[in-house]
Structure 1
Amino acid sequence: MSELKVYNSYSRQKEVFTPITPGHVGMYVCGPTVSGESHLGHARPYVTFDVVFRYLSHLGYKVRYVRNITDAGHFEEEGREAEDKISKKAMLERLEPMELVQKYTNLFHWAMEQFNTLRPSIEPTATGHIVEQIGMIQEIIKAGYAYEVNGSVYFDVKKYAASHDYGKLSGRVIDDLLETTRDLDGQEEKRDRADFALWKNAAPEHIMRWQSPWGVGFPGWHIECSAMATKYLGSKFDIHGGGMDLMFPHHESEIAQSTICNHEAPVRYWIHNNMITINGKKMGKSYGNQITLTQMFSGDNPILEKAYHPMVIRFFILQTHYRSTLDFGNEALQASEKGLRRLWDAYEHLKKLNWEETSPVNDEQDKKVVRLISEFDEFMNDDFSTAKVLANMFELVSMINSMKDKAIAVSSISKETFDLMQKQFTVYIEDILGLKSVTEADSNKLQGIMQLLIDIRKDAKGKKDFVTSDMIRNQLAKLGISLKDEKGGEMSWTIE
């Protein structure tokens, strides 16, 4: 089996994955800002890193997967323009800030369950780690890389850049940063336009506020992740993940803060997923094309032609390599819907097939199946290439369907190869890719409806109301559902 290689955004090349502690992996992924409902753009990183989590676990690693909840606000830059989104939204919805946080945290967890993502090992919140953030800021000040002005604390980027590779992750140079920094309120406090806030003084109307050595205020965005990653994964850990849009300023700032505070670079492998576009356009509020996850599942958005099952969206995401741009469109999603059904139907047939020696083994066919299956691991070890794994699966789907239709004999491949195919399809489809049947939810609903009708019919028969009892049975028969009375008053049903 080949070694696992991952593309490191920091070195811009694929590297053999070697964890700091043999057999263990520490992975931190930037979680959601719970000031509103998660949208389509959030689906990609959490599905991507769920598969990374699953595959590392499959390889036998004990993975500590930390994914935070940003519930203290989201500070892209300093100043009033970057007002705490949670406080602002709480006022609009007439909710207490933490009530709003809980509402959208619950909604995020529900959406992640629909996508069948595994829960992280630890899910810390920014508001639960104010003490750690203050402590980290104090260490950075003590080291001489931060300064306090009017109750706010800023990181000295120019001083840091003089002796460190600031901008290496994002590919930006310090002179460019000075020119591209937005002109925001509070700039006059800073020694340099490129400096960023570690702590901000809170105005009297600011709802979420904490006492600190510099007065009442709230943390900057970047320090949250540095503090939580350090606490749960140590000063240096294996993987930090997130979307490419976070490379600058967020991840670049994390590197600077953590390096000064912990005296070493915090992360060995930086992994970033690419962006989602909708019909070729960047997704964003300003473009009027943002789609929330509940809208995706219900179809309640003018961009959508219909509702899309969460598994269809997950499958669609996995059909493209995580570092490639992913364009959502109705036509592409509907093609994925058909593709997932075809894959799942073949998988169900494969589980029911039995190997019996009815024909000699076709050596060429047997070798082809072994190659296609063995490449599952090779592709995943080549920077988690789920798209190539699925391409191989669809080659095997054609063969499975031919076996089902008896166009070719199951024994045209060896028993050993057949057993391997059954095993690897289950391991990859369910355990690694995390897919489920799109009809599973519908099946559960039908089971519940049928049980309700059976209970009503039993009650009617018990009351000798044979008109109602017969009506239920006859109406179901018209729909192609056969209801059968069993011994002891029980009933069973089958779809004809």
Structure 2
Amino acid sequence: MQNLVIYNTLHRQKERFQPLNAPNVGMYVCGPTVYGDPHLGHARPSITFDILFRYLQHIGYKVRYVRNITDVGHLEHDADEGDDKIEKKARLEQLEPMEIAQHYTNRYHDAMRMLNVLPPSIEPHATGHIIEQEELVKQIMANGYAYESNGSIYFDVVKYNKDHRYGVLSGRNIEDMINNTRELSGVGEKKNQVDFALWKKAQPEHIMRWPSPWSDGFPGWHCECTAMGKKYLGAHFDIHGGGMDLVFPHHECEIAQAVASQGDDMVKYWMHNNMITINGQKMGKSLGNFITLDQFFTGKHDTLTQAYSPMTIRFFILSAHYRGTVDFSNEALQAAQKGYEKMMNGIEDLNRIQVGTETDANTKKFVSELRQKCYDAMNDDLMTPGVISSLFEACHIVNLLIDHKAQINAEDLKELSEVMNLFAFDILGLMNERGANNDAREEAYGKVVDMVLDLRAKAKANKDWAVSDQIRDALAEAGFQVKDTKDGVTWKLDR
């Protein structure tokens, strides 16, 4: 079993991963709120925790990965006030809220398939677990940490903080939070503005509502993850993840709900990916820089200079460590596209290497260390940029071998190929987007190019250098690299 170390947001340090019930791992990740097309902000957490899911399974763990769908309770203004985002969209489009939720859930799934994000083990919907959320609220009330106000139920943060600590994840101090909202104290239904809703009484115009002991209403946003995490992973599970924007208030409230309902925290490791900015700004519709994944894939947005493939987006996200910020620009994505193509070319070119009887010393050393270098990077808090760097070094070795500036035997070539394919495809989750159709196309190209090169060889034999150079230059202009080597002529399509 690999010695994986991950950063625990709760303790603000790297910790050796030790699951509660080895070799079984329970992992819960906050999924999308399905009221709009998936965008770049959805891609980063999905890809980040897809990498963790893939790697935990690869190193021998049996993983139950739960990723929820938020289809009720996420309000427009904040966690407690405003219109439900899905319900608001439904009114605008004159559809049932569940039509909106299903449509955008399908859109999200389509985008995840294109990004080669594996489906989770379980994908529960908030609307499918109203009973579990009501039971959670009852437990919190029975333990004295919630109160009813006009048919709504609120978590009593001040009372909870006397027995425990509210703010353990975000590092916030409740006194500072109360002082910052003191001018609003006593306004509305809450005892304190820091209190948050566990159950909201539905107003007459509210469409999405369920019966409860307190009122016809709907659960607060924070309840769903606590209730569904407990249902599918138990009272204690290993990993809870999501974007950095969820640390407060969502995940902070989850911790409080768990402790208030069962006496201790559910989660052993908290993991959060950082945000993506666009040209240094937070992505937002009001700023005109909100770009959906479909717009990236088609290039149909004013700020895009071209379309970017799903694997270019995936490579772009993996090129930075998940806890670091990533700033999108056309230049950054164009660099990612070149990097992705370089890696795919290197893997494809493994088939063009001429096997020798011996491996030279430098190549032998590199190949013997490559697998462990990639594991070391992954074991260091999923350092995917380190894996990519090692695979780029491998691509350089491949080029040296093709140009006969190095040599390798069959055993070492097999190891080099296995490691490059394992980490690029199985662990980083990249795909070769060229596909079978491109393979057939290149086979047809090959026949034509070989025929043209035969004509060039005849021209060279007749010392007709002008025709020879003309053929070479014409092939280069058409996108083919032609090299004269001591063993003959080689070519490849320059992508």
**TM-score > 0.5 by shorter chain:** yes
Q: 1:6/1:182 Cα in 2 relative to 1: closer, same or farther (>3 Å)?
A: farther
Q: What displacement does 1:201 show?
A: 0.6
1:432 aligns with 2:427: yes
Q: What displacement does 1:407 show?
A: 2.8
Query: Which residue identity lines up with residue 436 of structure 1 in the other structure?
Result: M
Note if contact 1:157-1:194 (Cα within 8 Å) is conserved in structure 2. yes
Distance 1:195 1:444 in 2: 60
1:28 aligns with 2:28: yes
Residue of structure 2 equivalent to 1:407: 405
Q: Deviations over 1:152-176 (max 9, x none)?
A: 0000001111122311211111122
Distance 1:393 1:246 in 2: 33
Alpha-carbon RMSD across the aligned residues, in angstroms, is: 2.2
Distance 1:118 1:49 in 2: 10
Query: Which residue identity lines up with residue 207 of structure 2 in the other structure?
Result: I
1:328 aligns with 2:328: yes
Q: Deviations over 1:4-51 (max 9, x none)?
A: 100000000000000000111000000000011111111000000000
Note if contact 2:185-2:191 (Cα within 8 Å) is conserved in structure 1. no
Moved more, 51-60 or 93-102: 93-102
Residue of structure 2 equivalent to 1:251: 251
Distance 1:226 1:446 in 2: 52
Q: What displacement does 1:280 show?
A: 1.1
Residue of structure 2 equivalent to 1:39: 39
Q: What displacement does 1:365 show?
A: 3.2
SS of the residue corresponding to residue 172 of structure 1 reads coil
Q: 1:285/1:367 Cα in 2 relative to 1: closer, same or farther (>3 Å)?
A: same
- How does 1:292-303 map onto structure 2 within 5 Å? 292-303=292-303
Q: 1:179/1:329 Cα in 2 relative to 1: closer, same or farther (>3 Å)?
A: farther
Query: Which residue identity lines up with residue 77 of structure 1 in the other structure?
Result: D
1:363 aligns with 2:373: no
Residue of structure 1 equivalent to 2:148: 148
Q: 1:2/1:434 Cα in 2 relative to 1: closer, same or farther (>3 Å)?
A: closer
Note if contact 1:145-1:155 (Cα within 8 Å) is conserved in structure 2. yes
Note if contact 1:351-1:422 (Cα within 8 Å) is conserved in structure 2. no
Note if contact 2:115-2:314 (Cα within 8 Å) is conserved in structure 1. yes
Q: Deviations over 1:71-124 (max 9, x none)?
A: 1131363554x2101111001111111111110000000000000010000000
Note if contact 2:354-2:402 (Cα within 8 Å) is conserved in structure 1. no
Distance 1:222 1:212 in 2: 17
Q: What displacement does 1:260 show?
A: 1.5
Residue of structure 2 equivalent to 1:462: none
Q: What displacement does 1:372 show?
A: 3.2
Q: What displacement does 1:409 show?
A: 2.1
- How does 1:210-359 map onto structure 2 within 5 Å? 210-353=210-353, 355-357=355-357
Distance 2:353 2:86 in 1: 54
Distance 2:107 2:239 in 1: 27
Query: Which residue identity lines up with residue 78 of structure 2 in the other structure?
Result: E
Q: 1:336/1:21 Cα in 2 relative to 1: closer, same or farther (>3 Å)?
A: same
Note if contact 1:79-1:184 (Cα within 8 Å) is conserved in structure 2. no
SS of the residue corresponding to residue 134 of structure 2 reads helix
Note if contact 2:7-2:271 (Cα within 8 Å) is conserved in structure 1. yes
Q: What displacement does 1:186 show?
A: 9.4
Note if contact 1:29-1:240 (Cα within 8 Å) is conserved in structure 2. yes
Note if contact 2:352-2:402 (Cα within 8 Å) is conserved in structure 1. no
Name structure 1 gaps, 5 residues minimum. Answer: 448-479, 481-494
Note if contact 1:35-1:73 (Cα within 8 Å) is conserved in structure 2. no
Note if contact 1:39-1:292 (Cα within 8 Å) is conserved in structure 2. yes
Q: What displacement does 1:446 show?
A: 7.2
Q: 1:26/1:408 Cα in 2 relative to 1: closer, same or farther (>3 Å)?
A: same
Distance 1:185 1:205 in 2: 28
* TM value normalised by structure 2: 0.86
Identical residues among aligned pairs (%) = 53
- How does 1:87-98 map onto structure 2 within 5 Å? 87-98=87-98
Note if contact 1:201-1:216 (Cα within 8 Å) is conserved in structure 2. yes
Query: Which residue identity lines up with residue 194 of structure 1 in the other structure?
Result: V
Q: 1:36/1:446 Cα in 2 relative to 1: closer, same or farther (>3 Å)?
A: farther
Q: What displacement does 1:296 show?
A: 0.9
Distance 1:78 1:382 in 2: 35
SS of the residue corresponding to residue 218 of structure 1 reads strand
Note if contact 1:79-1:186 (Cα within 8 Å) is conserved in structure 2. no
Q: Deviations over 1:420-467 (max 9, x none)?
A: 2111111111111110113238739979xxxxxxxxxxxxxxxxxxxx
Q: 1:262/1:314 Cα in 2 relative to 1: closer, same or farther (>3 Å)?
A: same
Distance 2:42 2:375 in 1: 27
Equivalent position to 1:419, from 409, 414, 418: 414
**Length, aligned pairs only:** 444
Distance 1:433 1:64 in 2: 19
SS of the residue corresponding to residue 28 of structure 1 reads strand
Note if contact 1:350-1:400 (Cα within 8 Å) is conserved in structure 2. yes
Distance 2:184 2:31 in 1: 26
Note if contact 1:20-1:238 (Cα within 8 Å) is conserved in structure 2. yes
Q: What displacement does 1:356 show?
A: 2.8
Query: Which residue identity lines up with residue 251 of structure 1 in the other structure?
Result: H
Distance 1:182 1:323 in 2: 34
Query: Which residue identity lines up with residue 427 of structure 2 in the other structure?
Result: I
Distance 1:63 1:182 in 2: 45
SS of the residue corresponding to residue 189 of structure 1 reads coil
Query: Which residue identity lines up with residue 424 of structure 1 in the other structure?
Result: V
Q: 1:391/1:287 Cα in 2 relative to 1: closer, same or farther (>3 Å)?
A: same
Q: What displacement does 1:211 show?
A: 0.5
Q: 1:325/1:442 Cα in 2 relative to 1: closer, same or farther (>3 Å)?
A: farther
SS of the residue corresponding to residue 65 of structure 1 reads strand
Query: Which residue identity lines up with residue 335 of structure 2 in the other structure?
Result: A
Equivalent position to 1:383, from 381, 384, 404: 381
SS of the residue corresponding to residue 438 of structure 1 reads coil
SS of the residue corresponding to residue 199 of structure 2 reads strand
Q: 1:217/1:242 Cα in 2 relative to 1: closer, same or farther (>3 Å)?
A: same
Name structure 2 gaps, 5 residues minimum. Answer: 443-477, 479-492
1:57 aligns with 2:52: no
Q: What displacement does 1:262 show?
A: 2.1
Note if contact 1:299-1:305 (Cα within 8 Å) is conserved in structure 2. yes
Note if contact 1:78-1:197 (Cα within 8 Å) is conserved in structure 2. yes
Q: 1:137/1:354 Cα in 2 relative to 1: closer, same or farther (>3 Å)?
A: farther
Q: 1:33/1:422 Cα in 2 relative to 1: closer, same or farther (>3 Å)?
A: same
